[in-house]
Chain A
């Protein structure tokens, strides 16, 4: 899995300027002031021609205000609501040992609350969902306290769905019902709810919704019985696509079947996004064709948010397809509180800083030693950041370049908590495979990356390409043309790292090293085997200095990593990435290589099927 938690919003789009103005207006209002404002507009607009004109102008602002305000960071609110969700994401309880086996799971209630968050947060950060400790983004758990202590946000807890609807029900114009027997109807309901501004519920929650004065906007019970996903999504396309965003689309993948973990449902509703989980598996030709039809209609700057469905396809298949349209993804479907985090910028006076050790111009000299650099990708949110051993050894964290826009407080929290041994790595905005990106789109990606990295004080670039997933070894290598594009597009960075699993793309030009991972540390690899692997690499690379870049899969504990390093036969020097890259460039003992152009012949076809 690879996720960068990164978003793209062009800073130059006019809609963003409008969004900024809307934000300022919205920030002046209390969480409950929207309905008062709406009432004022509705009751006064017929009184005089000038008021009519004013009202039309006001409506002109209100209508686009329903789009894309999340993603425009601003000041924090003084007041916000806190809504807990339950630690169960099933449609129906499947635990046979549970006394509630076969009864309704908590998904329906949780989804309603996250959807309500999307409605309420469409134009201001009003609601923060309190996810259970087991939620995938566990590193974000302390964030709520950070909003309190650093930003001074006063959270009012809405402990029950009834309390949540009492406080926030007015943000819904009605409700949309999904069919408990047709899982895909949930995605259609989310799409409909974004367009119609509805509360997303199953039939069990209808009485609660109606108690709060809400009426049905759409009811999908029985609507899609017996239909395939293609039939269901085609119907949704015909019905709602014309009203859906071209800036965002939601992939509500991840877990399937009886389970859904809809962390991005708030973003779906706030953005009026089309919600789907179409397959990218080549065997699903119809779904791929339909997916292409959707992606082709998005804006070049659009974002795909969420994750692919594990039950249908693979990450590599999905990202290869989306990258072919030059579109970037943000993972995962469990990404929490996007509509809240992205509307609150850094705290006043805060500037993001990194632990920089060298500059692009620095001159360093490598000694005849083994240099090891430990990189944790997928780092912020789901990794080892919160472990007590952090700071004891140099560790490098791939954080991407988009955090300042989409989760600034989280970045601030992480950055303020960094130890002198923590170093942040940048890279292109979003998650995509560069080898699959159309050539005419690449310079724009580099320009955007270069514009964003200074704000994050990042000076090194991480690259990952997984387009050749069919080959058992070597599929994280870069063709020379892609390496050329990075060198041409990022002449001012200290250097580049490549891969996820190990790869053998290496280069050095103008003092910039491009190093691939020599090792992928699987969290399940026994310590003794990992030590033997690294010792063997040192024997296979006998020249010193030897530069060993290690990808530490995020599920590895730092304690475990230290035990592996301490067990090595030849004691290495651990370096932060910027220093590591400069040392490698100073003494390039590695062989310059790129992705193999696969030759015809038995030697290369002998093993692949």
Chain B
């Protein structure tokens, strides 16, 4: 019985597109387009995509936002996935809630730690930065989880921001 069960499990692992610890992180690599209709609103941006590049224990996420024909902007986040080393990323503008009077404050950098969870199916990021609002700088913590679907074609981003009670959920599909 035990042998039969183990064989069945091995069969499942080898037949399906599910993830192994070794290739899990690499599965996130590629370009992902946001399904705007099924995501937390990103207006005024019309389009968003994320390109994920994985090299060893370094992940580079490049986000592209576009609004109409003439407004395009990108930001890049580089992170070590050892779970402990913060990486400082230069950042010019706060793009996430365009409607608010919120700018990047402090040293104009965000400090990001990352690690893989669940055998590389989930990329967890923890970001700290200073946002500047009307009254000055305010420390903000952002928790992100990028979760890959079983078929590897969908990427969900769950985001919690210390200043916002509304969880943000973004659904990307592989491009």
Whether B166 sits at the interface, judged by CB under 8 Å, is yes
Q: Which residues of A contact B108 (CB under 8 A)?
A: 603-604
A606 touches B134 (CB 8 A): no
| Partner of A535 from B92, B132, B135, B164 at Cβ < 8 Å | B164
Whether B163 sits at the interface, judged by CB under 8 Å, is yes
Residue total for B at the interface (Cβ-Cβ under 8 A): 41
- Scoring A residues 534 to 554 as 1 if CB is less than 8 Å from chain B, else 0, what string do you get? 011101111100111000000
Closest to B136 in A: A591
Whether B75 sits at the interface, judged by CB under 8 Å, is yes
CB contacts under 8 Å to B, within A500-528, are 501-504, 506, 516-522, 524-526, 528
A609 touches B73 (CB 8 A): yes
Q: Which residues of B contact A528 (CB under 8 A)?
A: 166
A607/B100 contact (C-beta < 8 A), A504-B134, A528-B166, A541-B133 known: no
A606/B76 contact (C-beta < 8 A), A504-B101, A516-B101 known: yes
In the bound complex, how far is the Cα of B94 from the Cα of A161, in angstroms? Answer: 56
| Partner of B134 from A474, A518, A529, A603 at Cβ < 8 Å | A518
Q: What distance in Å separates the Cβ of B68 from its nearest Cβ neighbour in chain A?
A: 9
Q: What distance in Å separates the Cβ of B91 from its nearest Cβ neighbour in chain A?
A: 6
Whether A608 sits at the interface, judged by CB under 8 Å, is yes
Q: How large is the interface on A (under 10, 10 to 19, 20 to 34, 35 or more residues)?
A: 35 or more
Closest to B69 in A: A314
Closest to B73 in A: A472
Whether A532 sits at the interface, judged by CB under 8 Å, is yes
A590/B134 contact (C-beta < 8 A), A472-B73, A532-B164, A535-B165 known: yes
Whether B160 sits at the interface, judged by CB under 8 Å, is no
Whether B43 sits at the interface, judged by CB under 8 Å, is yes
A518/B43 contact (C-beta < 8 A), A474-B93, A609-B73 known: no
Whether A97 sits at the interface, judged by CB under 8 Å, is no
Q: Which residues of A contact B134 (CB under 8 A)?
A: 504, 506, 518, 541, 546-548, 589-591
A606/B98 contact (C-beta < 8 A), A474-B103, A526-B41, A591-B136 known: no
Q: Which residues of A contact B91 (CB under 8 A)?
A: 603, 606-607
Whether A210 sits at the interface, judged by CB under 8 Å, is no
Most chain A C-beta atoms within 10 Å of own C-beta, residue among B70, B109, B134: B134
Listed in ascending order, the chain A residues whose CB lies under 8 Å from chain B are: 314, 471-474, 501-504, 506, 516-522, 524-526, 528-529, 532-533, 535-537, 539-543, 546-548, 569, 589-591, 602-609
Listed in ascending order, the chain B residues whose CB lies under 8 Å from chain A are: 40-41, 43-44, 65, 67, 70-76, 90-95, 97-103, 108-109, 131-136, 138, 140, 161, 163-166
Sorted from nearest, which 4 A-B pairs have the closest CB atoms? A502-B101, A532-B166, A540-B133, A473-B93
